Amino acid sequence: MRRYLALTCEALTRSIHAAAADAPHTVTVELLRQGLHNTPKSLRAALQEQIDAAAPGAYDAILLAYGICGTSTVGLVARSIPLVIPRAHDCITLYLGARDRYQAEFDAHPGTYWYSLDYMERSADGASVGLGAATIGAMDEIYAEYVRKYGQDNADYLMEVMGEWGKHYDRAVFIDMGGADGQPYEEAARAEAERRGWRFERRTGDRRLLTMLVRGEWPADEFLVVPPGYRIRQSGGGLVDCEPVEDAEG
């Protein structure tokens, strides 16, 4: 039996706990606030702080239940304990269970907005928000601030520009990870999709990658093991790789 520390985004709370509950190892789960990826520096700093706080020898490995998350995990350094991270873009891969599955979804419908129970129930102001969206309430506040600062004409223009991305999206997908009743959240996602004029679909999630992560099954094509003294770097394909810290500094 091994001892692992799993550093996890709130967006994966239920799934990582379920996976950890069935793991043959002793897994300590630490949750970090979701949405930190919006400023990769903040997420990187929060993760490195947790990594640095782990006493040498306290764990056999520190598991990062993250993807590259917009380069948030690039630059993280393994001290005396190895780090393990799935080779994934972001939590959608972890929800869907395989990088290829996400890639196929992405290639078919790049304009997809993803929803999940964990993310929605842990959003600051309730249910009607998907992964990464500003909420409707927040948008009202932003608009009022723009009117005050720049005048109504400019505020209208800014809201139009900021809302532009939504016009290029055409699909909402709710990922059902099983377990708890996600019905109310699925309905909220469906309602938001209708309001925005997006097609609505649901997918059944798969805890496969998270399960492999906490079970210590780390095939090299799907997981990166970062030895002590190595740093995570971005690889050519947009995913993660690692290099010795001295090389990165030299």
Partner 1 sequence: MSLLAEIRQTVIDGQAKQVVPKVEQALAEGVAPDTILHEGLISAMQEVGRLFEEGEYFVPEMLIAARAMKAALAILQPLLVDQGVEPLGRIVIGTVKGDLHDIGKSLVAMMLEGAGFEIVDLGVDVAPERFIDAVRNGANVVAMSALLTTTMPNMKTTIEAIEAAGLRGQAIILVGGAPVTQAYAKEIGADGYAADASSAVRIARQLTGK
Among 55, 168, 181, 220, binds partner 1 (CB under 8 A): 168
If you search the block for the tokens 């306290």, which residue do you land on? Answer: 58
List, in sequence order, every beta strand (DSSP E) within the chain: 3-9, 26-32, 61-65, 83-86, 112-116, 171-176, 199-204, 223-226, 230-234, 240-244
Q: Binding of partner 1 at residue 87 (CB under 8 A)?
A: no
Give the pair of three-digit tokens for residue 220: 């090299």
Written in H, E and C, the secondary structure of 14-77 is HHHHHHHHHCCCEEEEEEECCCHHHCHHHHHHHHHHHHHHCCCCCCCEEEEECCCHHHCCCCCE
Whichever of 62 and 68 has its CB closer to partner 1, that residue is 68
Q: Binding of partner 1 at residue 146 (CB under 8 A)?
A: yes
> Three-state DSSP class for 134?
coil
Q: Which stretch binds partner 1 (CB under 8 A): 11-19, 144-152, 192-200, 203-211?
A: 144-152
Q: Binding of partner 1 at residue 57 (CB under 8 A)?
A: no
Q: Binding of partner 1 at residue 110 (CB under 8 A)?
A: yes
Of residues 187 through 226, those in contact with partner 1 by CB under 8 A are none
Q: Binding of partner 1 at residue 249 (CB under 8 A)?
A: no
- In angstroms, give the least distance from the CB of 199 to partner 1: 15
Q: Binding of partner 1 at residue 111 (CB under 8 A)?
A: yes
Q: Which residues bind partner 1 (CB under 8 A)?
A: 40, 68, 70-71, 89-90, 102-103, 106-107, 110-111, 146, 149-151, 153-154, 157-158, 161-162, 164-165, 168-169, 234, 236-239
